[in-house]
Amino acid sequence: MKKISYTISCAARFRDDIMALASRRHVNPGDLARSVLLMLPTETIDGFDDPGEPDDRDRETITLKSGPAAGKLWQRKPRLQVRLPAGFDTTTIRKALGLVLSMDKQQLIARLEHPEMQARRDAEADRLRAAVQTLSLDILEGGVQTHADALYVLGFHPSARPDRSSLRMRFRMLAAIHHPDGDVGDHRRMAQLNAAMDILRPSAA
């Protein structure tokens, strides 16, 4: 695809930050803009605040190189020259570059995931949560009070006498499922697992 040159008016500080980032990444400003324009949805770029044009006091002095005024000094708005395929407007490109700076400064994290994929993941998490809830034993409303309660919570038969190794293995397996930090965790079940271990651990061989 044929590229054209875009002139992007911007604040001098913005231009300098983009040039410095491009230098660190060993690319050019067009590569930075293209990475965002290709990877992020249009609505994300459109919703980002435009870094904007430079204010009236933000000007740079250059020496004209051609024409009748060659050699004379001229003040102009700071700008970036960016080569990209045709079809973009300068505001969109400036927003894309602003997004790059925000991500580089860790002020913004972009999730490169299609909405349909996220919806699928949410549905899978809901199914998993429902399955865990269906297969898990009922929570003891009165708490873990007895040795039999503790065996029940950890899924052992009432007559079982698990050793320390068996207790640890069962606890770790159930804790991995019910820990509150997990997707299907439940702080009540986790609390009862801990209480059950407190009762059973001293009597385990």
The amino acid present at 49, given as its one-letter code, is: D
When the pLDDT of each residue in the chain is averaged and rounded to a whole number, the result is: 86
What is the token pair recorded at 40? 């992020």
- The whole-number pLDDT of residue 125 equals 75
- The whole-number pLDDT of residue 117 equals 63
Q: Are residues 41 and 20 in the same domain?
A: yes
Is 31 a residue whose pLDDT tops 90?
A: yes
CATH label of the domain that carries residue 187? 1.10.287.110
Residue 109 lies in a domain: no
Residue 140 lies in a domain: yes
- The whole-number pLDDT of residue 110 equals 57
Chain-centre distance for alpha carbon 91: 25
Is 191 a residue whose pLDDT tops 60?
A: yes
Q: What is the 3-state secondary structure (H, E, C) of 98-111?
A: HHHHHHHCCCCCCC
Tally of CB atoms within 10 A around 81: 11
b/e string for 141-177 if b means 16 or more Cβ within 10 A? eeebeeeebbbbbbebeeeeebeeebbeebbeebbeb
Question: Scanning the structure block, which residue is given the tokens 């290709």?
Answer: 38
- The whole-number pLDDT of residue 29 equals 93
Final residue of a domain: which of 50, 74, 104? 104
Q: Are residues 84 and 8 in the same domain?
A: yes
Q: Are residues 92 and 159 in the same domain?
A: no
Q: Are residues 125 and 99 in the same domain?
A: no
Please report which helix (H) or strand (E) contains residue 119, including its range.
helix 115-135
- The whole-number pLDDT of residue 183 equals 74
- The whole-number pLDDT of residue 146 equals 92
Q: What is the pLDDT of residues 141-166, one digit of tens each?
A: 999 999 999 999 999 998 999 998 99
Percent of the chain beyond pLDDT 90?
Answer: 46
Residue 191 lies in a domain: yes
Chain-centre distance for alpha carbon 106: 10
Mean pLDDT of 55-67: 84
Mean pLDDT of 8-22: 94
Q: Are residues 194 and 150 in the same domain?
A: yes
Percent of the chain beyond pLDDT 70?
Answer: 93
Residue 49, classified by CB atoms within 10 Å of its CB into exposed (0-12), middle (13-18) or buried (19+), is exposed
Q: Are residues 78 and 127 in the same domain?
A: no
Is 108 a residue whose pLDDT tops 70?
A: no
CA count, 13 A, side-chain hemisphere, 178: 22
Distance (Å, whole) CA 155 – CA 170: 8
Question: Scanning the structure block, which residue is given the tokens 């399955």?
Answer: 131
The number of distinct structural domains making up the chain is 2
Q: Are residues 133 and 191 in the same domain?
A: yes
Torsion of CA 105, 4, 43, 13, to 10 degrees: 30
Q: Are residues 151 and 82 in the same domain?
A: no
Q: Are residues 135 and 189 in the same domain?
A: yes
Is 70 a residue whose pLDDT tops 90?
A: no
What is the token pair recorded at 17? 């930050």
Q: Are residues 99 and 121 in the same domain?
A: no
Is 1 a residue whose pLDDT tops 80?
A: no
Q: Are residues 119 and 190 in the same domain?
A: yes
Note down the domain range covering 63. Answer: 3-104
Q: What is the pLDDT of residues 74-99, one digit of tens each?
A: 788 899 999 999 999 999 999 999 99
Backbone phi, then psi, for 74, in 5-degree steps? -145, 140
